[in-house]
Amino acid sequence: QVQLVESGGGLVQAGGSLRLSCAASGNIFRLNVMAWHRQVPGKQRELVATSTRDGSTNYADSVKGRFTISRDNAKNTVYLQMNSLKPEDTAVYYCYTRWNWNDYWGQGTQVTVSS
C-alpha cells in the first residue's frame, strides 16, 4: 500500500555533500515517522536519522553535526542532507516509514565516498 523510492545517491569525494530524497506514494495520507538507515555488506543495518510526526529528529553519533533529516509533508517526501562526507559513510541508504502497524522500506540508494 505504501511505496518508498529513494534518489540522490552517487559517487562523491570525501568532504563533499549529497542530498538524498525519499518519496512516499500509495495509500498514505500523511507522513508518519520517517527514518534513514544504511547498510554496508556484511554488517547490520544501522539507523542514521529519524524524523517523528511531531518534528523531533534524532541522529546516530557517527553522523551528528554532519547530516540533517527534513521532510516536506505536502509532497510526502523526506530528505537527508549529508555534508562533510567521509569514506566511512559509504553504504546503501534506505528510507523507512511505519504505517498502520506495517513497516515499509525503500529499495535503497548507493552512496560511495572516495578518499
For residue range 62-106, what is the model confidence (pLDDT) as tens digits? 999 999 999 988 888 999 999 999 999 999 999 999 988 899 999
Rounded Cα distance, 22 and 4, in Å: 6
What type of residue is 64? K
For residue range 9-59, what is the model confidence (pLDDT) as tens digits? 999 999 999 999 999 998 776 778 999 999 999 999 999 999 988 889 999
What pLDDT does 53 receive?
A: 81
Rounded Cα distance, 75 and 21, in Å: 11
